[in-house]
Amino acid sequence: MIFDARNIKAIYAGELAQKYDFSMPPFFSRWKRKAIDDSTLKSGDRVLVFCCGSGLDFPHILSKIGNAGKIVGVDFSVQMLRNAQQKIDTQGWVNIELIEADITTFKDTTEKKYDVGICTLGMSIIPDFKSAYNNLISEIKPQGEIIIGDMQLASGWLARLNPLTIFLAEKFGGTHKGHQNSLELCSIMKQDLSAIRKKEFFFKSYYYCIGKTQ
Ligand SMILES: C[S@@+](CC[C@H](N)C(=O)[O-])C[C@H]1O[C@@H](n2cnc3c(N)ncnc32)[C@H](O)[C@@H]1O
């Protein structure tokens, strides 16, 4: 498969967007929940969510930040954002704003105004994940938090399962290179952030990594 941002956008413009909430991603919900529970998210926090997709992470985040907080979700798929907006309307959530943008070039303001930055199941499918990650960090206040949850390549004997993991992830834009990028991203986070914690799940094919901004 060619690892290209245009392909990724096309994938999320098609049938996948309609079926997304009934396919593989909700399977990761329990580990996303663990990441949110392990985070410092609290009532009133402002949270920037990159690759928010259909908003599957919103309920977890809202359970911590409450009505006093705010979520700004960014995604470049109009179709996925439409699904997110439907959820927002159905649930009556009033403190979520959606922005259609490419996170590799996204800039909100020059002011760091978010307490926490989150991206789940996003970075590993983005060829220029380093720009996306840097843009996320640049929006977060000092002593704020970055939460990344994603798929990754397993090591040791578990590496035998990698072809299966990648096969399952392919229709969502997952590739061997992308899964490998997750390992690199965690190394970068270890250099940039403090109080780092990484946890791995399901034969190490999914991880979350949380750290504090300087
Ligand atoms: C696998 S989905 C994850 C959605 C959500 N975070 C979740 O866990 O259900 C990946 C999302 O990333 C978005 N995406 C991929 N590359 C992007 C980019 N460069 N800028 C903005 N959104 C992007 C896609 O449109 C899609 O909605």
DSSP string, 19-55: HGGGSSGGGGHHHHHHHHHHS---TT-EEEEET-TT-
Q: Could you tell me which residue, 25 or 175, shows the higher pLDDT? A: 175
Is 90 exceeded by the pLDDT of residue 108?
no
The pLDDT tens digits for 38-93 are 999 999 999 999 999 999 999 999 999 999 999 999 999 999 999 999 999 999 99
CA distance linking residue 176 with residue 167, whole number of Å = 9
Residue 157 CA to ligand 1 center (angstroms) comes to 30
Helix-helix angle 58-65:78-91, to 10 degrees: 50
Write the residue with the smallest CA distance to atom 14 of ligand 1: 51
CA of 51 to the centre of ligand 1 (A): 4
Residues 7-11, mean pLDDT to the nearest whole number: 91
Probe residue for ligand 1, chosen from 22, 49, 51, 56 as the CB with the greatest number of ligand atoms within 8 Å: 51
38 CA from centroid of ligand 1 (Å): 23
Closest atom of ligand 1 to 119 CA is 6
Q: Are the beta carbons of 56 and 44 closer than 8 angstroms?
A: no
Q: Tell me the CA–centroid distance for residue 73 and ligand 1, in Å.
A: 10
The more confident residue out of 125 and 109 is 125
Exposure class string for 75-93: b at 16+ Cβ within 10 A, else e: bbbebbbebbeebbeeeeb
What is the CA(126)–ligand 1 centre distance, in A? Answer: 9
Q: In terms of pLDDT, which residue wins out, 109 or 94?
A: 94
Other beta carbons less than 10 A from residue 188's beta carbon: 15
Per-residue pLDDT, 198 = 98
The residue ranking higher by pLDDT, 6 or 138, is 138
Residue nearest to atom 4 of ligand 1 (CA): 53
pLDDT greater than 70 at residue 14: yes
**Residue with more model confidence, 7 or 64:** 64
Band (pLDDT 50/70/90 cuts) for residue 1 is low
Contact at 8 Å (CB) between 45 and 109? Answer: no
Which of 12-26, 91-105, 178-192 is predicted with the least confidence, judged by mean pLDDT? 12-26
Q: Which atom of ligand 1 is nearest to the CA of 102?
A: 20
> Between vectors from CA 167 to CA 180 and to CA 52, what angle results, nearest 5°?
65
Residues 139-198 pLDDT 10s: 999 999 999 999 999 999 999 999 999 999 999 999 999 999 999 999 999 999 999 999
- Is 175 strand, coil or helix? coil
Residue 109 pLDDT class (50, 70, 90 cuts): confident
The helix (run of H) or strand (run of E) holding residue 79 is helix 78-91
Number of domains in the chain: 1
What DSSP character marks residue 69? S
Q: Which residues line ligand 1 (CB under 6 A)?
A: 5, 8, 12, 25, 51-53, 56-57, 75-77, 80, 102-104, 120-122, 125-126, 172
Residue 62: give the domain boundaries.
Answer: 5-102+111-212
The helix or strand, by DSSP H or E, that contains position 156, with its residue range, turns out to be none
Give the Cβ contact number of residue 68 at 10 Å.
10
CATH number, domain of 53, equals: 3.40.50.150
Q: Determine the pLDDT at residue 116.
A: 98
Residue 43's pLDDT is: 98
CB 163 within 8 A of CB 153: no
Ligand 1 pocket test target in 11, 30, 75 with most atoms within 8 Å of CB: 75
Is residue 65 within 8 Å of 93, Cβ to Cβ?
no
For atom 19 of ligand 1, the residue with the nearest CA is 102
CA 91/CA 152 separation, integer angstroms: 32
